[in-house]
Structure 1
């Protein structure tokens, strides 16, 4: 007997509810999209790779997974960027590299990316609901940004989405809305204990300091003098005008956009920090000013002498002394003769000089300025002369 039920109208209903129309058409739409991690960290179970030859490690990895996209040495071991999902799966399933036992794990941050979407319509939804509905697009975590208004935290339409791929998507689809995704640049990490940048209070063992630069004082207002513990400037450690804060912001931006580690991004950022008690304006005053006009006047005579010795040769001087140019000499012929001038003077070929003299026709001028035209050669007429009988004519 077929398992077919009838509704009140008598029409047969589908036996599989997933075959109907509506949101239940794809029951796996809310499941997270499986993505193989691309950046993997290889560690030695016993010891590290510091005592092994880099040539041998390269050959062993090539024999295990083939040619990887990049291999870098990190604190924990080797950071390997794979070229395909098959290569990453093979490396994840490996337990030995030659005779050494290894442990392969995905990198903590490089396999993920964070973006920001702004939408007021998402304020009616919880972050858990948004994350559940966007799992099919690779979203693993959703955080709503808040701001302080009159001392109270309020929700904003900005949401930070964490994706399980290193490449950030250009847009996502939230229900019927298509929302653009922009890069999320986190704020610089500042320790609430010592007020220094680059670590958190959980890993800090320094003396607890206030934002005013003095030892921690509870229940008292910060009094002058105020000194930043990072740049020694006259402002609080939480000030956004601090040059160290601007430097850390630039480091975070490069780290996110180029998908590199914090240390690599820090090497690319060079921001001069003024000394204690010296502002940027005072540092600019100490730079010696150069008189450009005076410097040019001093350099021009030397440059002219050097260029004259280089470009003015014996052959070019002889060519400059030529009084007149013949009217029938073309530009191309002049260039060829000028290029051959030094060579002809050096070789001293009289035959070549006589040939060139025949080709050129000079006009001479007398002292009174009157010029006489040179004798023109008669042109030989073409054709048979008139009245002269041709040979063999009858």
Structure 2
């Protein structure tokens, strides 16, 4: 005997499954339960996700290999693993305890993996000028004396009169701190630290913003002049790939470029997830 509340489900093989339906509640109780469910869903949505970003200069293991390494370190309660590219993976956790275990995992650090929470505002950037060109980045980083941890160091390049790029005497530093320090010490001498203005990241293949060529999701070479699928052309009728305006995709007056620049400039610091995609 089947009741009206029962649910019939037929699969592809012709088998029929009958699932027991819920009892029909009085209208007042149904409305109350609906309100409670909406409130619960709202609280769940407001709960911030716990995500750890794992990056490496070498190609990371695939899902099976990564899962094996996590199990070996007794890191559990993983909700989802998302590969952004071969060098970056996002791991979402059910609780912060296991996420913290991954961030502090010495074996992962020994493999050259960088594990950090994506939602923590812990990174700031500054520049140090007049650094000799023969000083390597590693030597510069090893000689730094600062109260904050140095995450990365990169010598900036400058454009020559002939249109080429060469190393400059300015070095950008990334620190694990909320605000950029006024100064730091190199071999015991005091050096001034100036705020770093983030450049707008634009892909040189699809000409979209917010990602470089290395992690372009399309890998299609589009024309910056007309927007069609070829490297370049001689057309004089420009069409921007971003705003559809009558200018090249490289035009600095593009409203999309100006909006992207304003969004970056207004940030005194940024989350690791943001920095990972654009700046580091």
> What band does the TM-score fall into relative to the shorter chain?
0.5 to 0.7
With over 3 angstroms needed to count, the CA separation of the structure-2 counterparts of 1:176 and 1:224, relative to structure 1, is: same
**Matched-pair contact (CA < 8 Å) for 2:121–2:269:** no
Tell me, in whole angstroms, the C-alpha distance in 1 between the residues paired with 2:154 and 2:196. Answer: 12
Tell me, in whole angstroms, the C-alpha distance in 1 between the residues paired with 2:169 and 2:177. Answer: 24
What SS does the aligned partner of 2:243 have? coil
**1:208 pairs with 2:218:** no
Which residue of structure 2 lines up, in the alignment, with residue 240 of structure 1? 252
What SS does the aligned partner of 1:250 have? helix
**Matched-pair contact (CA < 8 Å) for 2:123–2:269:** no
Choose which of 29, 33, 48 in structure 2 pairs with 1:73.
Answer: 48
TM-score after normalising by structure 2: 0.53
1:251 Cα deviation after fit: 0.6
With over 3 angstroms needed to count, the CA separation of the structure-2 counterparts of 1:176 and 1:136, relative to structure 1, is: closer
Matches within 5 A, 1:186-201: 186-201=198-213
Which residue of structure 2 lines up, in the alignment, with residue 315 of structure 1? none
Which residue of structure 2 lines up, in the alignment, with residue 115 of structure 1? 126
RMSD: 3.8
Choose which of 144, 153, 158 in structure 1 pairs with 2:155.
Answer: 144
What SS does the aligned partner of 2:133 have? helix
**Matched-pair contact (CA < 8 Å) for 1:131–1:140:** no
With over 3 angstroms needed to count, the CA separation of the structure-2 counterparts of 1:115 and 1:136, relative to structure 1, is: closer
1:161 Cα deviation after fit: 0.5
Tell me, in whole angstroms, the C-alpha distance in 1 between the residues paired with 2:220 and 2:51. Answer: 29
**Matched-pair contact (CA < 8 Å) for 2:151–2:176:** yes
Tell me, in whole angstroms, the C-alpha distance in 1 between the residues paired with 2:49 and 2:242. Answer: 28
Bigger shift: residues 136-145 or 157-166: 136-145
What SS does the aligned partner of 2:122 have? coil
* Count of aligned pairs between the two proteins: 180
TM-score after normalising by structure 1: 0.39
Matches within 5 A, 1:368-387: none
1:187 Cα deviation after fit: 1.4
Cα deviation code 1:104-129 (max 9, x no counterpart): 2432473222111212x433422111
What SS does the aligned partner of 2:266 have? helix
What SS does the aligned partner of 2:264 have? helix
Tell me, in whole angstroms, the C-alpha distance in 2 between the residues paired with 1:131 and 1:146. Answer: 18
Matches within 5 A, 1:330-345: none
With over 3 angstroms needed to count, the CA separation of the structure-2 counterparts of 1:253 and 1:233, relative to structure 1, is: same
Q: Which has the higher helix share?
A: 1
Q: Which has the higher strand share?
A: 2
1:206 Cα deviation after fit: 7.2
With over 3 angstroms needed to count, the CA separation of the structure-2 counterparts of 1:56 and 1:243, relative to structure 1, is: closer
**Matched-pair contact (CA < 8 Å) for 1:145–1:156:** yes
Structure 2 residues not aligned, in runs of 5+: 1-37, 53-73, 78-93, 104-115, 275-280
Structure 1 residues not aligned, in runs of 5+: 1-50, 58-70, 78-92, 264-394
What SS does the aligned partner of 1:178 have? strand
Tell me, in whole angstroms, the C-alpha distance in 1 between the residues paired with 2:260 and 2:203. Answer: 13
**Matched-pair contact (CA < 8 Å) for 1:194–1:204:** no
With over 3 angstroms needed to count, the CA separation of the structure-2 counterparts of 1:163 and 1:101, relative to structure 1, is: closer
Tell me, in whole angstroms, the C-alpha distance in 1 between the residues paired with 2:258 and 2:237. Answer: 23
Tell me, in whole angstroms, the C-alpha distance in 2 between the residues paired with 1:139 and 1:261. Answer: 14
Choose which of 132, 151, 163 in structure 1 pairs with 2:142.
Answer: 132
1:242 Cα deviation after fit: 1.4
**Matched-pair contact (CA < 8 Å) for 2:200–2:210:** yes
1:249 Cα deviation after fit: 0.6
Which residue of structure 1 lines up, in the alignment, with residue 15 of structure 2? none
Tell me, in whole angstroms, the C-alpha distance in 2 between the residues paired with 1:228 and 1:56. Answer: 42
* Higher relative contact order (CA closer than 8 Å, sequence separation 6+): 2
